[in-house]
Amino acid sequence: MIRNIKFRHILVAGGAGFIGSNLCKVLVNSGCNVTCIDNLSTGSLENIKELKDNSHFNFIQFDIKDEHDTAHLVPIDLIINMACVASPKAYYKEPIDTLMTSVVGTRNLLELARKLDVPMLQASTSEIYGDPALDILPESYSGNVSCTGPRACYDEGKRAAECLCMDYFRKYGVKVKIVRIFNTYGPNMACGDGRAIPEFINRALSGKNIIIYGKGSQTRSFQYIDDTIKGLVAMLNSDEIIGRPINIGNPNEECSIRDLAQLIIDLLKSKSAIQYSDALVDDPKKRKPDITLAEQLLDWHPQTSLVDGLVKTIEYFKNNDRTSYNNRSIN
């Protein structure tokens, strides 16, 4: 259990999603009172089912893009914004909604933070770096992003959200903390969301061919959910890192998509084969974080190897039916 979280009343937007639900569980188990809001577009009540009877947890179906009376959300002493679809499959389907969640939704939460005079932790993403020209990505790198391609609704939306955070910090003094999260995986991911690890595991469990777009030489630095959550908690507890972004990722586990597929096949002893298809537009060729700042300022280091994390994730998928985005039943 993570202890000594200094905030007691926390609003988590997007708290029924993959990372958000895992974060809610840690916060509640650490003694925090958590109000979770989510529009359930890709989040799932199943993800927070174990919290529904906990007196320290409250769920409200709520879209941060919309105007709401927020009086029922207080008391709050910290806002965490995890809201926004993160799967290409989802944001290709709803690009405008994705962009507006990052822009209008983030502004609404920043206004609430300003009104209540509380800090806000913004979950950003490694996607703000686009298809980078650098092998290792420090926070100072401004990225190489297409503003008109099919991924732009997510990439540029998250960049705009960071811009809003910094403007509210400079103009109004809102204490914003920005975390750039790299490719995270683990329990509570939905098989059907199209991202590499759940998609590959799901197909390998079914004995279906694993489809790779392009040559499979593109790399990602995969990080297990427990390490991501520890990084987020370290960030929200820090008084030093305000008004600047921090990378949270695992540079030790950079892996090509082709090697990832083969590793999952081997771990499952699956009969699946690798099948190649046309490359996706604007698909980044590499993605590896520089985490020097997180190590120095947060004393945070990822600890889970890719193999160990995949074994845990495979076990989760074996024991859970995750074939769709939303299981809205909480019975």
* Residue-level pLDDT at 327: 39
Give the model confidence (pLDDT) of 169-218 as tens digits. Answer: 999 999 999 999 999 999 999 887 889 999 999 999 999 999 999 999 99
Distance, CA of 153 to CA of 101 (rounded, Å):
10
Predicted local confidence at residue 324, as pLDDT: 45
Give domain status of residue 181, yes or no: yes
pLDDT at 12: 98
- pLDDT score for 326: 41
Under 8 Å CB-to-CB from 93, ≥6 apart: which residues? none
| pLDDT of 191 | 80
Instruction: For residue 71, name the pLDDT band (cuts at 50, 70, 90).
Output: confident
| Distance of alpha carbon 34 from alpha carbon 268, whole angstroms | 37
Q: Which residues are catalytically annotated?
A: 154
Mean pLDDT of 278-300: 95
At 73, is the pLDDT very low, low, confident or very high (cuts 50, 70, 90)? Answer: confident
Residue 1 placed within a domain? no
Instruction: Tell how strand 120-125 and strand 223-224 pair up.
Output: unpaired
Q: For residue 325, is it within any domain?
A: no
Q: What percent of the chain has pLDDT over 70?
A: 96
Write down the pLDDT at residue 321. 62
Q: Which residues partner with 130 through β-bridges?
A: 144
d(CA 150, CA 327) in angstroms, rounded, equals 27
**CB-CB contact of 209 with 203 (8 Å):** yes
**Tokens (6 digits) for 231:** 């990084």
With cut-offs at 50, 70 and 90, classify the pLDDT of residue 3: low
Does some domain include residue 112?
Answer: yes
- Domain assignment present for residue 268? The answer is no
* Domain encompassing residue 146: 9-185+224-252+287-304
pLDDT digits (tens, 9 = 90+) for 231-247: 999 999 998 889 999 99
Query: pTM of the full predicted structure?
Result: 0.94
* CATH assignment at residue 107: 3.40.50.720
Number of separate domains in the chain: 1
Asked if the structure places residue 172 within a domain, the reply is yes
pLDDT > 90 fraction of the chain, expressed in percent and rounded: 88
